[in-house]
Structures are given as structure tokens and as C-alpha cells.
Amino acid sequence: MTILRLDTQTDSDVLDVVSRHYEPMMRVHGEINFDVDLGEADVTVAATVYGARLPSVVYLPCCGALRHAPALLARGVERLVAVDLSLESLTAGMARNLSGADHEMLTVCQADLRRARDVLPEDGVELVFLGGNSIGDVTDVEGHLQFIAALADALAPGGTLVFDYAGDRYAPEPGAAVTEWPEIFHADGVDVAVIDRRSRRQTRVPGTAMHALQITCEVIDPETGEVYVAKHSYSKLMVPDAVLVEQFAAAGLALVNVGRVVEMSRYHRERVRDVGDLGMLGAPNCFYRATRL
Ligand SMILES: C[S@@+](CC[C@H](N)C(=O)[O-])C[C@H]1O[C@@H](n2cnc3c(N)ncnc32)[C@H](O)[C@@H]1O
């Protein structure tokens, strides 16, 4: 199957965020890209939050490596429209997360979701699922508002957007901004025990109640010091819930925070307990439902 490629112009800061999903981060075992079990658990929560039988067409913006697609198709979705800026994620995901039969049910498009309206049904869709904490990936405020407006525009009147977001609940606490944990790096032909080290720093977005969270990541062999993923940074916009509600209302969406994922999903709860840091997908993460008015 082919990946549609829209001719979009995207700001360099957005491409910076997107580039973190490329190789070699895709070789870090604990990264979520190829974790279809976590994808299935996310979809189970999303279906509960949606509260009805899934519609025949579902839109999956910021789909990354498509780890949610198999579970959505298994629940009877007949057509998935999947959009992401990262061609690398889409290509790797289609090869590793989906069967050939699944490919037939997908329309996959490499584009900035803010300019991808044409790949969706003219009247909009009943359900959009935005997984993996993707709100805030566009960190400039105007771009972030365009991002929300594009999600609203994708929905049919009365349609629902379900998403997860850690928001400002992932703010670094003083003195606890650096975390590291053991990981496996899938090098060519050999798995290496490494350390994934991340630091977090937040700065206020001037004139707003929002913060930009800057995360720095490096993956090294603690024994030899060999670097497997060079130190790199990416940013995320942290929007407090009260502000998010206003931003969604301005786009014609009524937003509700449905609750913490660890309270709604045994899988997430046990994974956080057993595997440890799921970062912003773990304890601080909440599911939201937004309805187009
Ligand atoms: C945090 S990842 C989540 C990926 C996937 N949903 C998952 O849960 O595995 C965010 C994804 O959004 C994509 N992305 C960020 N900004 C985007 C934009 N403006 N348009 C389309 N995709 C975007 C990135 O390339 C990345 O794959």
C-alpha cells in the first residue's frame, strides 16, 4: 500500500519534535512505538470513554507507528484514516505493527494534521482518537490553537474526540528533574543493556498560564560510556486543564477530563507498578472527551 504525502509546510520547531520519533529512538525497547499491547490497552480505555460502539470510520491523527491501529480494527472499525508528519514512523509502523490485511483498511497520510483535512470524509468523522499524549507537540501557542481547531474541523457535528494528555501534571518537581532507568537498545543483531537518562525543565510561556517543558534525553551504556542515542532535546506544551477547556471551547468543542488512566485501566496501573516509569503516559496521564457542539 502507498502512503499519501501531502505537500505541507511545517515549522522547524514542529519538525524538531517529530524528529525525536526517528531512528535511533525507535530502537529503544521501552519506547512506545511498537508496543501494540499498550496500544490495545489505550484503545480499551478510549472505547470506554467514547461510550458507544465504535463507528465504521475513525480518524487517527499523530498516529506515529500506528500501534493503536490493530486494536481499533479488531473492534470492528472498517476504515482508519491515519495521519502523521513522520514518514519514518509510518513506514516502520506499517511494516512492524500491521498485517497486510490491516493495510487494506487504512488510509495513511504523511502530513501536518493542520493541513490534512482533504484526506477526511467531507462531512467529518464521528470519532477521532489522538493517542500517546500528542497534544502540545506543536509548542508555539498559535500553532497549538491551530492544532486544536484542525481536530475540531475533522469532526462531524456531535462527533467526539478522545485523547490522553498529562498536561501540567508532568511538571518536574524541584530536585527530581533528572530520571534514569535501565533499558534495552536493539542494536544491529544484538541487544545492549543501556541507561535512558532524561532531564526536564519548564519555562513559562510569557503572558499565559502555560509552560514549555523541555526534555533532554540520552541513551548510553553505563559500563563503557558508549553513546547509543546522542543527547537531544524536545519540547512539549503543558496546558493546565482550565486553559485547555477554554481553548477547546474557542474551537467549538466541549471538553471533559474523564480521569487518570491508571484509575481506569488495570493494564496501565500494573505496568506503571511493574515496569516503572511510563513517563507522561503513566500516573499523570488523563483521558479526555471533547464533543463538537
Ligand atoms: C507523542 S507521539 C505519539 C505517536 C502515537 N500516537 C503513539 O501513541 O504511539 C506524537 C506523534 O505526533 C506526530 N506529530 C507531531 N506534530 C504533528 C503535526 N502537526 N501533524 C501530524 N503529526 C504530528 C509526531 O510525528 C509523532 O509521531
- Mutation test of ligand 1: which of 22, 35, 84, 117 has the most ligand atoms closer than 8 Å to its C-beta? 84
Residue-wise over 230-240: b if at least 16 C-beta within 10 A, else e? eeeebbbbbbe
Residue 176 has what pLDDT? 59
Is residue 82 within 6 Å of ligand 1 at its C-beta?
A: no
C-alpha of residue 205 to centroid of ligand 1, in Å? 22
C-alpha of residue 222 to centroid of ligand 1, in Å? 30
Model confidence pLDDT, tens digit, residues 258-274: 999 999 999 999 988 88
Residue 145 has what pLDDT? 98
- Which residue's alpha carbon is at the smallest distance from atom 7 of ligand 1? 132
- Percentage with pLDDT > 90 across the chain: 72
| pLDDT band (50, 70, 90) for residue 282 | confident
What are phi and psi for residue 214, nearest 5 degrees? Answer: -100, 125
Is residue 38 within 6 Å of ligand 1 at its C-beta?
A: no
Ramachandran class of 79: left when φ > 0, alpha when ψ lies in -120 to 50, beta otherwise: beta
Query: Quick check: 19 pLDDT over 60?
Result: no
Residue 180 has what pLDDT? 86
Residue 77 has what pLDDT? 98
The mean pLDDT value for 166-185 works out to: 83
Is residue 148 within 6 Å of ligand 1 at its C-beta?
A: no
pTM of the model: 0.93
- Mutation test of ligand 1: which of 134, 238, 261 has the most ligand atoms closer than 8 Å to its C-beta? 134
C-alpha of residue 45 to centroid of ligand 1, in Å? 19
The mean pLDDT value for 116-124 works out to: 97
Fold observed for domain 4-168+239-292: Rossmann fold (3.40.50)
C-alpha of residue 134 to centroid of ligand 1, in Å? 6
| pLDDT band (50, 70, 90) for residue 175 | low
Domain ranges of the chain: 4-168+239-292, 170-234
Helix axes 266-275, 36-50, angle to 10 degrees: 140
- Which residue's alpha carbon is at the smallest distance from atom 8 of ligand 1? 132
Give the contacts of 2 (CB within 8 A, at least 6 positions apart): none
Query: Quick check: 208 pLDDT over 70?
Result: yes
Nearest to 67 by CA among 163, 132, 152, 1: 132
